[in-house]
Structure formats: C-alpha cells, structure tokens
Amino acid sequence: MSYSLDAFCDDCRTALKTDTGPGGREKVRQNLERLLAEPGFLDRHVLSAPPGRHTLYEDAELGFVVLAHINPKGHKSPPHDHGASWAVYGQATQYTDMTEWRRTDGKNDPGPATIQVARRYRLEPGHAGTYDIRAIHNIEFPDGARFVRVTGTDLERIPRLKFDLAKGLAEIIESASAGAA
C-alpha cells in the first residue's frame, strides 16, 4: 500500500500530539523516510517540481510545515539554528552534507559566540535527520539536490541565529533561507 503526503501529515499530527518532545520528532523522521521511499510522492511533489522552496502542507492546529526544496545550484549555508523550532531533513536526490555544531561559550543568544564541530555526516536519498530546538548545524549540497524538510513552525515567523565563524558572532536572522541565494 502506498504512503501519501496526506497520510504522512496525519501520522505527523498524531505523533506530535502524542509526544511533543524528541520522541514525537523521531516519529516524524521515521515517517519521512517512509514517505521518501514512495515513488508516487517523489514524482508528484519533488522530481517534477520547479526550482525553489515549495510549501506542501502547513498544519493549522500544530503549526508544523512540510516543504520541498528543489535546488538547481549547490549551496553551503552558514552554521545556524532554527530558534525555538526543530527541523527534520529528508534527502530525495543527490545528497546533503550535514555538520552539527556545539556552542562552547555557554550562551544561546546573539553576540560574541564560539562554536565547534560536533559531528559530520552525509544524508543520502531516502535518509532523514532530526535537528532539535536550538541545534546548530549547516548544510552543503551539490547542484540538483532535492530534499523535503519538516519544521515545527513556519521559520519565517521566528527569530533564529546564524553564526559568523570569522567574526565569532551569532546574529539574529528571520529568513528561512539562512543565507541561501
């Protein structure tokens, strides 16, 4: 039996109502991997989509958002967090290199900041990764990479931090692109 975008969104809603913490987000990640294994979903919402970021679903009650990112050009983001939200990235085509960072100055606000690499890995097609509230990470992907991202809320509505490694600063951003072109 195929797994549709509607079924995925219903399952996410159930998971996030049942467990508002990391357990619920882990279920979202597992469900996203299941969705990425569905050729019908990929064909309709990812492979045939034009370049850009496309909102596939926004939950009116819980606020989570499902987005398809269709990237004709490669990109490397600066280290950033998702503020008071979380995100689950699921790779559809190509790959995304993920770097997780740890803040070493004991703060979580803008201003002088030091961070260091905690972990590096690659998301391959069909795999998904979870980035919890205030988790610092950056992404790098090649031309033609496509991924699906689920966020706890519309990131354009909340402040987040972007880290400038050269200046040793954390700066407030409000754009969901975290510096993407």
Query: pLDDT for 71-86, tens place per residue?
Result: 999 999 999 999 999 9
- pLDDT tier at 13, thresholds 50, 70, 90: very high
Predicted pLDDT of residue 158 = 94
Work out the mean pLDDT of the chain and round it to a whole number: 95
Whether pLDDT at 181 is above 70: no
Number of domains forming the structure of the chain: 1
pLDDT per position as a tens digit, 129-163: 999 999 999 999 999 999 999 999 999 999 999 99
| Burial readout 56-82 (b: 16 or more C-beta within 10 A, e: otherwise) | beebeeeebbbbbbbbeeebebebbbb
Rounded to 5 degrees, what are φ and ψ at 66? Answer: -110, 125
Determine, yes or no, domain membership for 177.
no
Task: Decide if 65 is inside a domain.
Answer: yes
| 0.75 exceeded by pTM | yes
Is residue 114 one of the residues assigned to a domain?
no
CATH number of the domain encompassing residue 125: 2.60.120.10
Note down the domain range covering 26.
5-100+120-155
In a domain, 22, yes or no: yes
